[in-house]
């Protein structure tokens, strides 16, 4: 499972000109599910993200987590995180999980991250979305559970 985690001042997601999710200060997470991912991958990423110290304390050091600042999270499904561009010019998405599996693990990740007591908004699985991100810093972290297991 792969996640692009962005620290934001605010974020929102629209589908067909209709806002379906909005957050204030917090994190926008682009989440991709791979063919070999399991629930343990979602659990690992949720725990890692909930405790990731990327928010500044009073001294300006990145010492605080999303839990510490009582921030909000916007989760967007993004299979393109599994795009392989090694050959040719068109990415191959063969490593991405099929939709039936991906939606289950996407929803499981959302459940796991909510268990940390955080406000979580989402996009819509498999929808064409417009994501508005006001990146703060900018701070962008890449996480991949595959490198762990």
CA dist., res. 32 & res. 39, Å (int): 13
Residue 141: predicted pLDDT? 97
**Burial letters 92-125, b for 16+ CB under 10 A, else e:** eeebbbeeeebeebbebbbebbeebebebbbbee
Catalogue the active-site residues.
78-80
Residue 149: predicted pLDDT? 58
Which of 25, 2, 55 shows the shortest CA–CA distance to 134?
25
Residue 146: predicted pLDDT? 87
Share of the chain above pLDDT 70, in %: 99
pLDDT in tens, 74-114: 999 999 999 999 998 999 999 999 999 999 999 999 999 99
> Domain limits of the chain?
2-147
Rounded to two decimals, what is the model's pTM?
Answer: 0.95
Residue 3: predicted pLDDT? 98
Assigned CATH topology for domain 2-147 = 3.50.80
């Amino acid at each position: 499972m792969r996640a692009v985690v962005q620290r934001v001042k605010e974020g929102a997601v629209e589908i067909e000109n209709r806002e379906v999710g909005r957050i204030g200060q917090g994190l926008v997470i682009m989440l991709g599910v791979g063919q070999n991912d399991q629930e343990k991958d979602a659990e690992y990423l949720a725990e890692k993200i909930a405790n990731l110290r990327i928010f500044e304390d009073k001294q300006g050091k990145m010492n605080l987590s999303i839990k510490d600042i009582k921030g909000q999270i916007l989760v967007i499904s993004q299979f393109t995180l599994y795009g392989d561009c090694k050959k040719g010019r068109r990415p191959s998405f063969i490593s991405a999980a099929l939709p039936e599996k991906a939606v289950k693990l996407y929803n499981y990740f959302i459940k796991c991250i909510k268990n940390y007591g955080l406000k979580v908004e989402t996009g819509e699985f498999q929808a064409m979305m417009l994501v508005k991100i006001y990146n703060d810093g900018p701070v962008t972290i890449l996480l991949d559970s595959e490198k762990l297991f």
